[in-house]
Chains A and B, each alone.
Chain A
Amino acid sequence: MSVSARVLGTPVDRLEGRDKVQGKARYAYEYPLDRLAYGTLLVATVAKGRIRSIDARDALAAEGVLAVLTWESAPKLPKAEGELAVLQGDRVSYRGQIVGVVIAESYEAARHAERLVRVDYDVEQHDVTLRADHPTLYRPDKVNPSFPTDTEEGDVERALREAAHAIDLTYTTPAYHNNAMEPHATTAFWQEGRLTLYDSNQGAYAYSETIAQTFDIPRERVRVIARHVGGGFGSKGTPRPHVIATALAAHHVLRPVKLAVTRQQMFALTGYRTPTIQRLQLGCDADGKLTAIAHDVVEQTSTVDEFAEQTAVVTRMLYASPNRRTTHRLARLDVPTPSWMRAPGECPGMYALESAIDELARAAGIDPVDLRVRNDPEIDPESGHRFSTRNLVACLREGAERFGWSPGGRREGRTLVGMGVAASTYPARRRPSQASARREDDGTFTVRVGAVDIGTGARTVLAQVAADALEVPLEQVRIEIGDSDFGQAPVAGGSAGTSSWGAAVVKACRTLRVSGEDEVHVETGQADEPLAKHGFGAQFVEVRVDVDTAEIRVARAFGLFACGRILNPKTARSQFVGGMTMGLGMALLEESRVDAQFGGFVNHDLAQYHVPVNADVAELDADWLDEEDPHVNPMGAKGIGEIGIVGTAAAVANAVFDATGVRVRDLPITPERLLPLLRK
């Protein structure tokens, strides 16, 4: 049963839009509370070792300083795990790890006091450099979140030997940082054994669970509020260490404490995308039908925790081939634990796979659009399930036409021009969620769900969902989100937020309407039909490369997607375009450079870690095909938060090759990497 569309599918402006353009939308660091103190973080200046001593006497003597919390003074949290075991011992596992919290009456006093604390370490030799032959490489039990680590079907080696065309190439991606515009921030206070946090996160309820577990108190005693969040891209999907540090600080001084991670500190403390080394072996017959696909990935995790990115998982479902192999191996390094960054797995994995497909197409002399079309599977090769809907071929064909697909490269004076294409795909999920709906005396309806709007437009879209399910105008709906007291709800992540919350909102609103009750609370389950459920898309890019400097400009980019019903075309386009923009950065600009000598990310600010700016994005647009998928949620939609970044980097890299005839397989494709090849 689907929702009949009246408000859904229309380009409603963001409900909080007026607040955001007037500076009224309040973020986590902006709640005025009585007796509010300022917290700042002391972080490790070595990558591995033990804290020998901490001398905070000068800091404590400084004006305005309330306390310096260290592992010696912090309470023990026996249930704290991994990165959240903050100030629980003298062990330093990575550079930038939290070793103390300064709490002061003013921000200036806290920052000053940081520099007055003397921390001495017994330093040990660290290792922060990922290599394909790293001695610690191991096979994790599963990859994020619970996929098999390795898969194998048929005889890949034999198929490669017998293939008419085959390639065996290695691609690398560096560490990337999410770098949401709002630095992670928390305002925490304790009251009668209850902890309240105004926090910048992607999942208020999930945070309350993890934080409660860390402090070993019932979940009901932790309230997490996240009304407005300045972006996350995965980095606010799980509580980061500063949240625990802030709660500890508030407990220590018996006052509300607010703390924002600095941009520099974010590079160690708030997660990042693992670097990858990916070997792709592909073979096809004379007609371009794939006979072998092998995708072997090496990536990193930390000594603190395990995060195994599912980089090759996408290769299990994208193309038909009787012989397939995927593997993941991890090196344990003295680094912060990698975490989610927009489309973890699919994003770096599809860079390598879709670059390799392009290289195979060229080896076989087949147009890369055609090669992809010829290998589009009838069923999911991995599970054998039917696809709920799969319109990759239509995206490729129609996208090519609309873009004016005409690869081959050309020269205009000192500029080389070329085109590239890549496929996009991302799983369509629905997770369990609760929601409530209440009929108000004035004829309006209040709908509550523990959703968080990190910029996706979820608040607006959920109001649209509610209005249609209640069969009332949008103006009669008040949507309330961003509070762990609103019931269980999944994080804004995995492109599953709106799908999951929306399903619960539909159920709550329909139940209210049909039952005639004044207030209902409902919960919904996950989408578990035995179908392969994914969104698809195709991205086309035209680049212009300067012959003399190797400067690459993306002149045009166009993505055509098939992601079920589009619930709000205005905010949806922004999601697609935003993802593609981040993919452009991944291809050409972004790279977290590892400092082998000192063990940190050396370019840890926005002057040195280059995210795309306005001038980097010329003509970039997205559109979609009409599609309705009834199998994921009652709205007929698929999640769209991540698919935009999947494939972009490959499309750019393929366009650079088309323009120049040379291939840089190590991202980002910078002038310093491309120019020497152009000169040859």
Chain B
Amino acid sequence: MAELHPVSLTVNGDEHSLVVDTRTSLLDLLREHLGLTGSKKGCDHGQCGACTVLLDGRRANACLVLAVAADGCDVVSVEGLEHPLQDAFVERDAFQCGYCTPGQLCSAVGLIEEAEREGAHVDGTYVRERMSGNICRCGAYPNIVAAIEDVL
């Protein structure tokens, strides 16, 4: 049975307070309740990465987070990104159908911040490994890596 619960969170800088079904995922909150359909549902099981958002600055699969668990959190979805990576993706043709792209972008922004935090040496192997949670069935991987390396 549906239980309703209040949730307040910041999405792309805007504060939202709403009452949601406790079964609602953060992904469905974004897509179905806030009209932010940029984050995509590719599997709903945390297996494809199309729903990747930045949750309190870290990348997360929004389909695996219950909306009520995101209470008080700061969420950035693709609609909230303003990053040179977006231009690099277009320039490098780092997507074809575009369905995985919002997740790739959020994931890559998260990766760049992780690398800075860890002081990691970032090369192609590092990027490929750390971007492997984001599936691109069109096979744009070499271009995704090139786009990320462009902005490092």
* Among listed A102-110, A296-304, A427-435, A630-638, interface-contacting one: A102-110
- A606 interface contact, C-beta 8 A: yes
B137 at the interface (CB under 8 A from A): yes
Cβ of B93: which chain A residues have Cβ within 8 Å of it? 13-14, 570-571, 573-574
Question: Does A398 reach chain B (CB closer than 8 Å)?
Answer: no
- Residues of chain B within 8 A (CB-CB) of A581 are 139, 141
Q: Which has the most chain A C-beta neighbours within 10 Å: B93, B95, B101, B134?
A: B93
Q: For residue B38, which residues in chain A have a CB less than 8 angstroms away from its CB?
A: 22-24
Give the nearest-CB partner of A231 in chain B: B97
- Nearest-neighbour CB distance to chain A for B98, whole angstroms, equals 3
Q: How far, in angstroms, from A233 to B128 measured CA to CA in the complex? A: 24
Q: Does any Cβ of B come within 8 Å of A124's Cβ? A: no
Contact A457 B141 (CB under 8 A): no
Q: Which of A593-630 contact B (CB under 8 A)?
A: 605-607, 611-618, 620-621
Interface size on B, residues (CB 8 A): 59
Near B by CB (< 8 A), chain A positions 528-574 give 570-571, 573-574
Interface string of B87-121 (1 = CB under 8 A from A): 10111010111111110010000000000000000
**One of B35, B41, B96, B101 near A574 (C-beta < 8 A):** B96
Q: When the two chains form their complex, are residues B144 and A614 in contact, meaning their CB atoms are under 8 A apart?
A: yes
How far does the Cβ of A568 sit from chain B's closest Cβ, in whole Å?
A: 9
A106 proximity list for chain B (CB < 8 A) = 2, 21, 32
Find out whether the CB atom of A611 lies under 8 angstroms from the CB atom of B137: yes
Q: Tell me how far the C-beta of B97 lies from the nearest C-beta in chain A, rounded to whole angstroms.
A: 3
The prevalent SS among residues of B at the interface is loop
CB of A260 within 8 Å of the partner chain: yes
Contact between A181 and B143, CB atoms less than 8 A apart:
no
A183 vs chain B, min Cβ distance (A): 7
**Given A20-B101, A30-B37, also A62-B42 (CB < 8 A):** no
CA of A614 to CA of B148, assembled, Å? 13
Whether the pair A181, B90 counts as a contact (CB closer than 8 A) is no
CB nearest to A228 among chain B residues: B98
Tell me the bound Cα distance from A285 to B131 in angstroms. 50
Contact with A along B10-46 (1 / 0, CB 8 A): 0000000000010110001001100111111111110
A16 within 8 A of B: yes
The answer, yes or no, to whether A112 is at the interface (CB within 8 Å) is: yes
Q: Taking CB as reference atom, which chain A residue is nearest B42? A: A181
- The complex places the Cα of A62 from the Cα of B23 at a distance, in Å, of 15
Interface string of A212-232 (1 = CB under 8 A from B): 000000000000000011110
Complex contact B102–A63 (CB within 8 A): no
A646: min CB distance to chain B, Å: 14
Q: Kindly list chain B residues whose C-beta atoms are within 8 Å of the C-beta of A580.
A: 139
For A16, the closest partner residue in chain B by CB is B98
- What is the chain A residue whose CB lies nearest that of B50? A181
Q: Which residues of chain A are within 8 angstroms of B48 by Cβ–Cβ distance?
A: 181, 263, 606
Nearest chain B residue, comparing its CB with the CB of A181: B99
Cβ B79 vs Cβ A620 within 8 A? no
Q: Which residue of B lies closest to A233 (CB)?
A: B137
**A182 to B128, Cβ gap below 8 A?**
no
Tell me which residues across on chain B come within 8 A of A260, comparing CB atoms. Answer: 41
Q: Check if A17 is an interface residue, CB within 8 A of chain B.
A: yes
Task: Say how far B72's CB is from chain A's closest CB, in angstroms.
Answer: 22
Q: Is A121 part of the contact surface with B, judged by Cβ < 8 Å?
A: no
Q: Do A183 and B142 touch (CB < 8 A)?
A: no
Q: A578: CB under 8 A from chain B?
A: yes
Chain B residues with CB under 8 Å of A64's CB are 2
For B100, the closest partner residue in chain A by CB is: A181
- Chain B residue contacts of A24, Cβ below 8 A: 38, 79
- A615: chain B residues at CB < 8 Å are 128-129, 132
Contact indicator per residue, chain B 124-152, by CB within 8 Å of chain A (1) or not (0): 00011101111111111111110000000
Task: State the Cβ distance, B42 to closest chain A Cβ, in Å.
Answer: 5
Check B98 against A455 for contact (C-beta < 8 Å). Answer: yes
**Bound-state Cα–Cα, A180 to B137, Å:** 6
- Contact A263:B99 (CB < 8 A) given known A30-B31, A107-B28: no
Is A391 an interface residue, CB under 8 A from the partner?
no
Contact check, B43 vs A618: say whether CB atoms are below 8 A apart. Answer: no
Collect the chain B residues with CB atoms within 8 Å of residue A612's CB.
139, 141
Check B135–A455 contact: CB distance below 8 A. Answer: no
A121-164 to B contact mask, C-beta < 8 Å, 1/0? 00000000000000000000000000000000000000000000
In the complex, A26 has a CB within 8 A of chain B: yes
- Decide: B78 and A22 in contact? CB cutoff 8 A: yes
Residues of B with C-beta under 8 A to A16: 98
- How many whole Å from B35's CB to the nearest CB in chain A? 6
Question: How far apart are the CA atoms of A230 and B38 in the complex, in Å?
Answer: 12
Q: Which residue from chain A places its CB closest to the CB of B32 in the assembled complex?
A: A107
A1 at interface by CB-CB < 8 Å:
no
CB proximity of A670 to chain B, nearest CB, Å: 18
| Chain B CB within 8 A of A201 CB | no
> Which residues of chain B in 1-15 are interfacial with respect to chain A, using CB atoms and an 8 Å cutoff?
1-2
Task: Say whether A676 faces chain B, with CB atoms less than 8 Å apart.
Answer: no
Contacts of B134 in A (CB 8 A): 613-614
- Cross-chain contact B139 with A23 (CB below 8 angstroms): no
Complex CA gap A190/B135 in Å reads: 36
Residues in B with CB closer than 8 Å to A455 are: 95-98, 138
User: With a CB–CB cut-off of 8 A, which chain B residues contact A183?
Assistant: 41-43
Residue in B90, B105, B127 whose CB lies within 8 Å of A14: B90
Contact status of A180 and B97, CB under 8 A, knowing A23-B37, A63-B2: yes
Please determine whether B78 and A21 come into contact, CB atoms closer than 8 angstroms. Answer: yes
Q: List A contacts of B139 (CB < 8 A).
A: 574, 577-582, 612, 617
Known A-B contacts A21-B105, A30-B31; A614 and B145 likewise in contact (beta carbons under 8 Å):
yes
Do residues A181 and B135 form an inter-chain contact, with CB atoms below 8 A? yes
A233 surroundings in chain B (CB, below 8 A): 137
Q: Known contacts A24-B38, A605-B43, A620-B142: does B132 contact A13 (CB below 8 Å)?
A: no
Residue A456 CB within 8 A of the other chain: yes
Closest 7 CB pairs of A and B: A23-B38, A230-B99, A581-B139, A455-B97, A455-B96, A578-B139, A20-B98
Known contacts A108-B21, A180-B99, A614-B145; 16 additional CB pairs below 8 A are: A13-B90, A20-B98, A21-B87, A25-B98, A27-B99, A32-B35, A64-B2, A181-B136, A182-B99, A229-B97, A260-B41, A575-B96, A577-B143, A606-B42, A611-B135, A616-B132
Can you pick out 18 interface pairs between chain A and chain B where the beta carbons lie within 8 Å of each other?
A: A21-B90, A23-B38, A27-B37, A107-B32, A181-B137, A182-B40, A230-B99, A231-B99, A454-B97, A581-B139, A606-B43, A606-B135, A613-B134, A613-B135, A614-B129, A614-B134, A614-B136, A615-B129
